A and B are shown apart, each in its own frame.
Chain A
Amino acid sequence: MAYDKFTVLTSTAVPLPAENVDTDQIIPARFLKATEREGFGDNLFRDWRYDVEGNPKKDFVLNDPTYSGKILVAGKNFGSGSSREHAVWAIYDYGFRCVVSSFFADIFKNNCLNIGVLPVTVSPEFAEKLFNAISSDPSTEIEVSIPAQTITLLATGESESFDINSYKKDNMQNGFDDIDYLLNMESEIDKFEKTR
């Protein structure tokens, strides 16, 4: 489905510096039983966020009112493991539109781009800068610009550029998805299929 257009996002951010956060943490398997895409945000980071009785765990960042925003700044190797797109649906449904990390797992990154959540890969140094800036001032704003392909700490002007291929860049800015593209080349695919 075509998704929200994404050009420039300016927001505060939520820090989650843990490394190797796998998609089972983002959304545990037992919450994958829906047959529709809505409502996964309630169970985002379920077992880190709530205890077994369903009470919020105070020390988890999503339960800390100090931090909020549409940007999740995550630790190294974020989104590893299962290919469940539900992980990105949960992140989107919770309200995040951009995830920043120094290293993403492949399938997770693809899944983000496929539903219009922007994965921004930064250097480990810049990631560290972001974590420090957010923890010293949770109201610090970060600007993510797809046209300029930059991520900027607005308070200091410190900035870094990020990669995104021009096809995906165009998709994100216009809210197009891959199926729109593929459906437009039906006859070419038909011809190819006959050779397989």
Chain B
Amino acid sequence: MEKTTLFDKIWDAHVVRSVPSGPDVFFIDKHFIHEVTSPVAFLNLEKRGVTVKYPHRTIATPDHNVPTVDQDQTIKDKLSRMQVERLRENCKKYGIELHDLGSAHHGIVHVIGPELGITQPGMTIVCGDSHTSTHGAFGAIAFGIGTSEVEMVLATQCIMQSKPKKMRITVDGELGAGVTSKDIILYIIAKISAAGATGYFVEYAGSAIQSLSMEARMTICNMSIEMGARGGLIAPDETTFNYLKGKQYSPSGEAWDQALAEWSALKTDEGAVFDKEYTFDAADIEPMITYGTNPGMGIKVKGNIPTTEGMEGSNKTSYLKSLEYMGFAPGEPVKGKKVDYVFVGSCTNGRIEDIRSVASFVKGHKKADNITAWIVPGSKEVEKMAHEEGLVKILEEAGFELRQPGCSACLAMNDDKIPSGKYAVSTSNRNFEGRQGPGARTMLASPLTVAAVAVRGEICDPREVFEN
């Protein structure tokens, strides 16, 4: 029998038809929508006179533009309010499940999907958002799509896709103290560059990956897009099954046993061939931080910004332009750089484990005076747990400001903007120019590093700040 990869198994099971010399007609099991990339899709459906084909396969929540304060009140920003209202209208009109602002399961779409057990192994999942790759942590094929494709899924539950190439990234060994899954993915992206996996779908494997919790795995898969990959996935195992057991939308009773049998078969056959393979040693990974304006520009926190040696032409020009934007010089260390803001949140690191991690380290400390510290839970559920576990109290005592769930300062569509020229160390996923507000300078790092920076007020290695 032919040896196939996990990705092949799931992909091939979802091809309705292969167009000769063209893409596959690819069936989508679950479709998430939010307020920003769906309104035009619904508008076009209407223009075509077409309805939503399988409304039960789509789940909605407003997350991108929503305010993170006073969520019980009418949204002040007119355009944001209109987008959210349009989402409500569309969900009502077509019978789509909506987790609205303020409701028990409102939150960032990629946080609530797993939380509710909607995301399951072997599924195909899309959303008009590139961080849909997050759901790959469950052994699903999940990726971001454009609004035309959102319309296709609403109308037909299918999209036209050419099968990407396959890449496997293996990380073996044990992670050192103070090193998190965020550091793993920042390390990988720094190694293979922000475009290094373009055209590929990635499977993450190896003992260091298998040892991670579901939430930590989500952080890794989430940032697959930051190296250009359409998505990334991890074979489901006991950790996955334990996470899913008892979730609201998880199968139960006999259906659970049946699902478990199917899910257990979801793995890459030994000897299956990938188009590209990378192997890294977990012991080589240390706390990471980005210094430039794409996620591939990452170094060890204790390291120096690369010099321009060996660079030429537009490559060098782009590199220097990036450093100029950041206000950094080639060759200098990042440690000791003053920071103005820290942001803990987003679909990358806005889950309960992230908040626990920050709280456990800042407990008994105070944020530095020069720091404004925002912590934005990924969902109402996360917020609730943070309160119940006493984390909010710890964080507030340390000087953090807890906000309400949403994408928030990750992309600064709402009022949560980092002012021009200010430095923010963020647990989010993108350090693009202006990503966190026009002129904002973003450095990406793990929740742990962010906690250390909040306390010190400058870039520092968390292992030097927090003992044990």
Partner among B23, B129, B143 whose Cβ is within 8 Å of the Cβ of A165: B23
B58: which A residues are within 8 A, CB to CB?
Answer: none
Extra 16 A-B pairs, beta carbons < 8 Å, given A29-B64, A183-B156: A1-B44, A18-B314, A20-B294, A25-B432, A34-B39, A35-B82, A36-B40, A77-B195, A85-B146, A107-B143, A107-B146, A115-B148, A166-B22, A177-B148, A189-B53, A192-B16
26 contacts between A and B (CB under 8 A): A18-B317, A20-B318, A28-B434, A33-B65, A33-B83, A33-B413, A34-B39, A35-B82, A36-B43, A47-B433, A77-B195, A77-B198, A77-B228, A84-B36, A105-B195, A107-B144, A107-B230, A166-B20, A177-B148, A178-B160, A179-B148, A179-B152, A182-B152, A185-B25, A188-B17, A193-B157
Q: What residue of chain A has the Cβ atom nearest to residue B40's Cβ?
A: A37
5 nearest interchain CB pairs?
Answer: A167-B22, A85-B146, A33-B79, A83-B144, A114-B148
Contacts of B39 in A (CB 8 A): 34-36
Q: Is A114 a contact of B146 with CB atoms below 8 Å?
A: yes
Closest chain B CB from A52 CB (angstroms): 7
Contacts of A111 in B (CB 8 A): 146, 148
Contacts of A76 in B (CB 8 A): 195, 314
Minimum CB–CB distance from A36 to chain B (whole Å) comes to 7
Nearest-neighbour CB distance to chain B for A131, whole angstroms, equals 8
Binary interface encoding of chain A residues 35-55 relative to chain B, with 1 for a CB under 8 A from any of its CBs, else 0: 111000000000100001000
- A11 contact set on B, CB distance < 8 A: none
Q: Within 8 Å of chain A (Cβ to Cβ): is B337?
A: no
Is the pair B430, A81 in contact by a Cβ cutoff of 8 Å?
yes
Chain B 109-133: CB-based contact to A (< 8 A → 1; otherwise 0): 0000000000000000000111000
Which residues from A are CB-within-8-Å of B194? 20, 77, 80
With contact pairs A35-B39, A189-B156 given, residues A80 and B294 touching in the complex (Cβ less than 8 Å): yes
A57 within 8 A of B: no
Q: Closest Cβ of chain B: how far from A141's Cβ, in Å?
A: 23
Which A residues between 3 and 49 are near B, CB-CB below 8 angstroms? 17-20, 22, 24-25, 28-30, 32-37, 47
Is there an interface contact between B434 and A47, defined as CB atoms closer than 8 Å?
yes
A114-B149, A182-B156, A193-B27 are known contacts. Are A166 and B16 too (CB-CB below 8 A)?
no
What residues on B are CB-neighbors of A178 within 8 Å? 148-149, 152, 159-160
| Residues on the A chain within 8 Å of B144, using CB | 82-83, 107
Instruction: Report which of B65, B158, B315, B413 forms a contact with A189, defined as CB distance below 8 A.
Output: B158
Q: Are B198 and A105 in contact (CB under 8 A)?
A: yes
Q: How far is the CA of A83 from the CA of B228 in the complex (A)?
A: 11
CB–CB B130/A24 < 8 A: no
How near does chain B come to A176, taking the closest CB pair, in angstroms?
11
Residues of B within 8 A of A (CB): 14, 16-17, 19-23, 25, 27, 29, 36-37, 39-40, 43-44, 47-48, 50, 53-54, 64-65, 77, 79-80, 82-83, 86, 128-130, 143-149, 151-152, 155-160, 162, 164, 194-195, 198-199, 225, 228, 230, 293-294, 314-315, 317-318, 321, 411-413, 420, 430, 432-435, 438-439
Q: A107-B145, A178-B160 are in contact. Are A167 and B198 (CB under 8 A)?
A: no
Which of chain A's residues have a CB closer than 8 A to the CB of B162? Answer: 165
Which residues of B are found within 8 Å of A37, using beta-carbon distances? Answer: 40, 43
* A83-B321 Cα distance, complex, nearest whole Å: 24
Instruction: State whether A18 touches B198 (Cβ < 8 A).
Output: no
- Are the C-beta atoms of A29 and B314 separated by less than 8 Å? no
Given contacts A29-B413, A47-B434, A47-B438, contact A83 B314 (CB under 8 A): no
Nearest Cβ on chain A to B312's Cβ, whole angstroms: 12
B130 pairs with A166, CB closer than 8 A: no
Chain B at the A interface: SS class: loop
Chain B residue nearest to A115 in the complex (CB): B148
Nearest-Cβ distance from residue A170 to partner chain B, whole angstroms: 8
Contact with B along A117-134 (1 / 0, CB 8 A): 000000000000000000
Nearest Cβ in chain B — how far from A30, in angstroms?
A: 6
Contact B434 A35 (CB under 8 A): no
A92 to chain B, nearest CB (A): 12
- Nearest CB in chain A: distance from B416 CB, A: 11
On whether A18 and B228 interact (CB within 8 A), knowing A37-B40, A167-B22, A182-B158, the answer reads: no
Give the distance in Å from the alpha carbon of A165 to the alpha carbon of B80 in the complex. 39
Q: Contacts of B130 on A, CB cut-off 8 Å?
A: 81-83, 107
CA of A28 to CA of B21, assembled, Å: 36
Expressed in whole angstroms, the Cα–Cα distance for A25 and B431 within the complex equals 12
Report the nearest B residue to A181, measured CB to CB. Answer: B160
In the complex, what residue of chain A is closest to B147 when comparing beta carbons?
A85
Q: Which of B65, B155, B294 contacts A182 (CB 8 A)?
A: B155
In the complex, the answer to whether B228 meets A1 with C-beta atoms within 8 Å is no
**Chain B residues with CB under 8 A of A196:** 14, 27, 29
B36 contacts which chain A residues (CB < 8 A)? Answer: 32-33, 84
A32 to B36, CA, bound (A): 7
Enumerate chain B residues within 8 angstroms of A192, measured Cβ to Cβ. Answer: 16, 27
Residue contact B40 to A81, C-beta cutoff 8 Å = no
**CB <8 Å contact, A20 and B195:** yes
Contact with B160, one of A19, A30, A182 (Cβ below 8 angstroms): A182
